[in-house]
Amino acid sequence: MAALSHTEEQEIRRQFQELLEGCTFIRSESDRSLIVRAFELAFKAHSSTRRKSGEPYILHPLAVSKIIAFEIGLGATSIAAALLHDVVEDTDVPLDLIRRDFGERVAIIVNGLTKISGVFDKDSSLQAENFRKMLITLSEDVRVIIIKLADRLHNMRTLDALSEQKRFKIASETIYLYAPLAHRMGLYAIKQELEDLSLKYRHPHIYQQVLQQVQDNEETRARIIDEFVAPVREKLTSAGYQFDITGRPKSIYSIYYKMQHKGIPFEEIYDLLAVRIVFDPEPGIPEKNQCWSVYSLITDLYTPKQDRIRDWVSLPKANGYEALHVTVMGPRGKWVEVQIRTRRMDEIAEKGFAAHWKYKNSTLQQESELDKWLKKVREMLNEPNADAIEFVNEFKMNLFSSEIQVFTPKGHIKTLPVKATALDFAYEIHSEIGNSAMAAKVNYKLVPLNHVLNSGDQVEIITSDKKRIQREWLDYVVTAKAKGTIMNAIKSENKHRTEKGKEMLEARLKEFNLAPSARILKKLMDAHKVANKDELYSKIGMGLVGLDDLQKILRKNTPNKWIRYWQLQIFGTKSKPSRDVQEAGDEAPTGGAPAGLAASATSATSATSAASTASAGDELPVSFRTARCCNPIPGDDVIGYKSPGGVVSIHKSRCPNAVRMVANHGDMIVPVKWTMSTILSFLVRIEIKGIDRYDIYSQITRSIAEGLNANIRTINMSGHDGIFEGMIELYVRNTRDLESLITRLKEIKGIESVKRLDIRQEEDTPE
């Protein structure tokens, strides 16, 4: 690598000086010395390294340190750790040197931020292993997560230097794990920027389209906000409040997310127009009461939308977020969302973790909310789990998902993930209550253990000393705590049965002067159709496999088929068929094309023409199939996931499963592109809404038939009160034909909207 130029070194020193001078949390000379020493070591260690962009590498840890200091507000220890966060991983500096020169705390943080290197199980994921290790260090110091988020934020800000495929992988990982994690830590500004940048690099066309819509409406939006704010400012001033009131721009990602998940156009997003009121509370009066007083002043001016009131001052979010949100009818018939916060609430909302600790002594409730979340993280980390992918997915499901709050019989609040059941609640109370649960009462009504809870439910668990844990309980629960406790109990019971069965078999064999051997166990496994010796022992222990016919089974000769099998293996006269190729053919969607290289597609399914294929950046023949979870069609933006068996699943790039695979298995993602076909067709589903006038249904079907000569699979139309809604499934060749059809349908008089819906079948997961 080229040595640093004099100009580059000057710029590096200038930026470090900017860090030192701008950091308000350097309170002593020892703090300053720690940061200076950390910088000098990092500068020396990274002196010969450059980033993909060509700039000196040291600028990256400097930028991360600035985010930590200026945007989050952590102190000297965190800044030093941020400056050193890559030296152990990327240079020859050992962790012991960090520990010796900077202390145990900095060493713990740096170790947590150092990626794992080495050999892992082939079915594991390096990305998932790295994430798990980082979280394990969370049990020692939560600042590991904060610095990792700052590191990811700077990497996302400088992603342009990487290849398109690398950008997509990192952006998918960010939206899957890091943006939700920032949300959980209360770092809303960082969370929003991570989401926007992820959308920008995963779907650049969509990002630019939404950005353009925002910019086109900017002047109109600003005028409406000004009109809205003027009387509010006058009212609050007259009431004696010291406050700031500002327009709050909605992030690009949140606009896109609402348009997608609610199926609404840009103009119908309620909180597109939003203002934030941050005021200085009156000492001695509860802040909650003062927020409601401000709410009262605003609703004296504007009419509130009753189903759009969000009260997070009475019951804060799990990450400590507090605010009162209300949507009111503003000028020109436009809805405006108003966020009401005190200064303390605003700082916690913007700086999350750091602000929690600042207000530690004065707001014990806020600290306890974060403590509860960290306690749940540590509970998950204490659960033994060899599968890193399963760990990360369960972590995301339990700690990133939306939540409900339910009540115990005594009125205590318990926070659980959405879709949690009565059995989850039982295990949340105590493991023994979960293990002995037999039913529940929800709002005084008897329900089964798999009953899904809603926010506000009051739950009582009915237990029995005679109740035993059942394997199907794993399907009843969603929390990691419940799953882990059930799995441990099942393993313990299986171990007991296995040991009992082994003792029973050994005792029975001893009657014939025999001892267990591989040959004897093989005969017994074949006779009783079990997969391994542990299953054999377990079934003997349960009484499902008897030993009365033991002598008869042992006298039988080894079946001829096994002799032939081993002969073929030894002499190499035959090879096993590829299970993956067979499955690829079996799983091809009805009416759809095989996805893959022409040569491999033909071998995967001889009954289907290979005229429509997806090409992969791989020189070797590979079997392809379209994923059933999102059913992509030619023209959709797609990616390929290559399983360990060699089969490539084609997913829409926006498919949630695809995002999860990219986040956990980035090295298994292959670039793919469609090669158009005029022979085969793909199943799509469209939704139509409009005015139920005479002959509208026949016009729709005629337009489909005449426009594309397309085959309709199903059609379902229903009208009521002059309005109709319909759903049609039909076969098209590609997205261009589909877009043409949608345009034709929209031209029919009375049609209000036509849009494509996802056809989601069973979920595809990495093989």
CA atoms within 13 A on the CB side of 440: 26
CA 450, 451, 453, 459 torsion-angle sign:
negative
Which tokens in the block code for residue 115? Answer: 């990626």
Which of 8, 11, 55, 90 does the annotation list as catalytic? Answer: 90
DSSP 8-class letter at 68: I
Q: Which residues does 63 contact at the CB level (< 8 Å), separation at least 6? A: 154, 157
Q: Is 90 a catalytic residue?
A: yes
DSSP 3-state assignment of 627? coil
> Which residues on neighbouring strands pair with residue 50, listed in sequence order?
56
Q: Is 96 a catalytic residue?
A: no
Q: With contact defined as beta carbons under 8 Å apart, do 73 and 351 qualify?
A: yes
Nearest to 418 by CA among 379, 391, 453, 443: 453
Which of 89, 244, 586, 706 does the annotation list as catalytic? Answer: 89
DSSP 3-state assignment of 2? coil
Q: Which residues does 384 contact at the CB level (< 8 Å), separation at least 6? A: none
Q: With contact defined as beta carbons under 8 Å apart, do 246 and 279 qualify?
A: no
CA atoms within 13 A on the CB side of 371: 8
Distance CA 206, CA 221 (A): 21
Amino acid at 553: I
Backbone angles phi, psi at 13, to 5 degrees: -65, -40
Q: Helix 143-157 vs helix 188-202: angle between axes, to the nearest 10 degrees?
A: 40
Q: With contact defined as beta carbons under 8 Å apart, do 538 and 498 qualify?
A: yes
Distance CA 198, CA 654 (A): 12
Residues with a catalytic annotation lie at: 89-90
